[in-house]
């Protein structure tokens, strides 16, 4: 259900009104504005090394950089993510939507290896920290996962998160 929720949010923020035909939101939403949507799915990879996470982030960043013409070669993943958000915001004139599916997947796959967890956490923390740094350019952000934010400690820099766990 979490991935379906993110796909639904993506369709909504892309202004795909036709997908909501016959639903209450079709008549409740009056503007159907289109936003830049940055959707990162961490579910599809096996994270048995930091290189695997690096490669996943690299592929996604390259795709976004092509779309928003940032050319962010030679800087950190978090710096490139910031640049993509800024360019997307400037290009569209609207706040960017960030959707991250299974934000905690790399850590969960390494519960047995504390050293690997720490290395992956050190990669993810600055990447996710961009959500606070770029708050002024972000309209909406939703992250899904199975662990509580506090237990993962990649969000210690963020103070504006609402945990809507069930």
pLDDT single digits (tens) 130-145: 999 999 999 999 999 8
> Which residues fall within 8 angstroms of residue 8, CB to CB, at 6 or more apart?
none
Q: What is the mean predicted confidence (pLDDT) over 45-64?
A: 95
* Burial of 138: CB neighbours in 10 Å, binned 0-12, 13-18, 19+: buried
Say how far residue 139 (Cα) sits from the centre of its chain: 12
Burial 71-81 (b: 16+ CB within 10 A, else e): ebeeeebbebb
* 89-98-59 Cα angle (round to 5): 95
DSSP-derived 3-state class of residue 138: strand
| Confidence band for 165, pLDDT divided at 50, 70 and 90 | low
Say how far residue 16 (Cα) sits from the centre of its chain: 20
98, two tokens: 């960030």
pLDDT exceeds 60 at position 52: yes
């Amino acid at each position: 259900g979490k991935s379906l929720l993110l796909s639904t949010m993506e369709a909504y923020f892309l202004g795909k009104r036709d997908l909501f035909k016959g639903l209450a939101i079709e008549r409740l939403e009056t503007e159907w504005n289109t936003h830049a949507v940055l959707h990162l799915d961490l579910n599809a990879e096996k994270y048995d090394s930091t290189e695997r996470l690096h490669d996943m982030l690299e592929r996604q960043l390259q795709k976004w950089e092509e779309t928003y013409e940032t050319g962010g070669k030679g800087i950190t993943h978090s710096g490139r993510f910031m640049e993509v958000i800024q360019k997307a915001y400037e290009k569209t004139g609207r706040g960017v939507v960030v959707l991250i599916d299974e934000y905690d997947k790399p850590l969960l796959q390494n519960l047995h290896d504390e050293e690997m967890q720490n290395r992956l956490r050190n990669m993810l923390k600055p990447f996710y920290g961009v959500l606070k740094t770029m708050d002024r350019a972000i309209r909406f952000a939703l992250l899904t996962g199975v662990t509580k934010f506090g237990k993962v400690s990649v969000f210690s820099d963020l103070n504006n998160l609402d945990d809507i766990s069930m």
